[in-house]
Structure 1
């Protein structure tokens, strides 16, 4: 069944074709030597004629259809991005941190009322992101299981992953206690809520610090693989190039992870220290850079 959006184009196209056929028929009569029809007012003499308006509408609808057809792959990609758990979170993460920069800019411009409204939005988004992490232990358990089943690239990485997973296993429940207590869902004291919030961030900061160690080990492994590929003499040029391309992709991923971790490090320290003076706009800048880098990774993964 044709949709309503098809109807205007189809009707216009039929009318345009009818007008063109009528013009062509008159031309054939003239060419055949028949009696010439009396001159009728042309469209040029009637600028507001329905025929010309219908032609214009048909052209406009065709142009819009072509434009929307060109946007379809991008829209499909965006749906895949936002439908993924990671893409959904990174969209809101970018909103949460970029609005902190907007708040700073509005406050400097003297627009205090607008700054407060945007600050409220930032706080709501931050609260929402904590809420959707209430199920974070489920994928965490899956990651721990898979990490033990799959062989690690090195023994050092295997033990690093175990310690980092242990840090996250401590982080998630403490954050859950903080959020549930702050919203008076579970009966805990304000002091307990405060301690749970700080200690959850300290375990997260420990994870980020260990991630630097892990990235150092990964860099050593990538460099070793590159040396082995370049010194092998039993492979053809095409195979070697394929392996080097895969290694280059791993190196790009490594640089992205380093940037993300470097942005998270000051944030986790700031949230772990009582009375930290780290400015909120700096939190916004670090968080925005980390969000953009992670969103780009998810965008490529959902292509």
Structure 2
């Protein structure tokens, strides 16, 4: 093949690659970027992304620490293996006497190799950084709720004067928006109860957050107490009120489910929305109860998993809706 022909082929190949890249950018990358920009321009949607990221980071960090702990336990067990089994761990190596023992303890060799060369310290360092990032996101989300009473006031006005009332409260679960029928007095009563709970919860959370960051001073003593109420107690009461909000939401969902069972015209989309809200509340309720207790009862791995479910369920739907509008 001549140099001219080879050069022509290279030129055609480069042109095809360029066209393929341009096609991918136009048909896949650009629409996704546009969708993400549109979604993140909304405060509530940004909070939903942050919520999912916050708990996902905690989940990954906790999983890394659990894996590291398991590896250390396996290595510790391996070092204690009796010589009569034909295996001895020397440093970071497994020395075997016969082939049978070598096959039997191949998993020990893997664990020992992973535990060596600072692997454990590196995992702990990464997990610490992820947890700090998760905590930072949590602080940002709590800060953004300092003016949450405005959204609650709007929610109350919508409930009082609109046929369809949208729940726009900026609560801890990332704005679990839903509509309720004014025609159903039970649902309306439940929604008013949720408004009342959030009217109390939001200031309690605001005071706890600001006092926790030394923006306001709750007292003059070292325990940072006023009226014998500590910052920790304020956080717990805020979480208990959140739990009350979620339990009321379960009551609302039960009422809507009962009404829907009598209505053959309930759409598939409404059914999907009902189940989505139920799963979100079911994931959030253990978190609210955990933070309502003095010392909590959930490990970080469970907290991360539940929070990721609560955010991820709605985030997937949000991306789907954004894709449908663009399509």
Same fold (TM over 0.5): yes
TM-score by length of 1: 0.75
Q: Provide the residue aligned with 1:73 in structure 2.
A: 31
1:87 and 1:299 in contact (8 A); partners too:
no
Mapped to 2, the partners of 1:119 and 1:143 lie a distance apart of 34
Greater helix proportion: 1
Name the SS of the counterpart of 1:170 in structure 2.
Answer: helix
Aligned to 2:244: 206
| 1:239 aligned partner | none
Moved over 4 A (4+): none
Aligned pair partner of 2:147 in 110, 132, 135? 135
SS at match of 2:22: helix
Question: 2:254 aligned with 1:216, yes or no?
Answer: yes
SS in structure 2 of the partner of residue 168 of structure 1: helix
The Cα RMSD (Å) is 1.9
Residue of structure 1 in register with 2:117 after alignment: none
166-175 or 104-113, larger mean C-alpha shift:
104-113
Counterpart residue number, 2:18: 61
Q: Where is the strand percentage greater, Structure 1 or Structure 2?
A: 2
Per-residue deviation, 1:41: 5.1
Q: Which has the larger radius of gyration?
A: 1
| Matches of 1:161 and 1:92, distance apart in 2 | 26
Q: Assess, with a 3 A threshold, how the Cα gap between structure 1 residues 168 and 280 changes in structure 2: closer, same or farther.
A: same
Secondary structure of the corresponding residue to residue 265 of structure 1: helix
Match of 1:284 among 274, 280, 304: 304
Take 1:274 and 1:123, find their aligned partners in 2: how far apart are those partners?
Answer: 20
Q: Counterparts of 2:136 and 2:256 in 1: how far apart (Å)? A: 37
1:256 maps to 276
- In structure 1, the partner of 2:316 is 296
Give the unaligned 5+ runs of structure 1. Answer: 1-39, 227-243
**For this pair of structures, how many residues does the alignment match?**
242
Which stretch of the first structure deviates more once superposed, 105-114 or 166-175? 105-114
1:193-244 CA-partner distances (Å, limit 9, x unpaired): 2222111111111001111111000101111222xxxxxxxxxxxxxxxxx4
Q: 2:47 aligned with 1:89, yes or no?
A: yes
Which runs of structure 2 are paired with 1:1-303 in the superposition (5 Å)?
43-44=4-5, 47=6, 49=7, 51-71=8-28, 72-108=30-66, 109=68, 110=120, 111-151=123-163, 152-189=182-219, 190-191=224-225, 192-226=230-264, 244=265, 247-302=267-322, 303=325
How far apart are residue 42 of structure 1 and its match?
A: 5.6
After superposition, the C-alpha distances for 1:280-302 in whole angstroms (9 at most, x for unaligned) are 11111110100101212333443
2:214 is paired with a residue whose SS is coil
Residue aligned with 1:96, SS: helix
Q: Which runs of 5+ in 2 are unaligned?
A: 69-119, 164-181
Contact 1:86-1:298 within 8 A present in 2 as well: no
* TM-score, reference length from structure 2: 0.70
Q: Distance in 1 between matches of 2:59 and 2:27?
A: 34
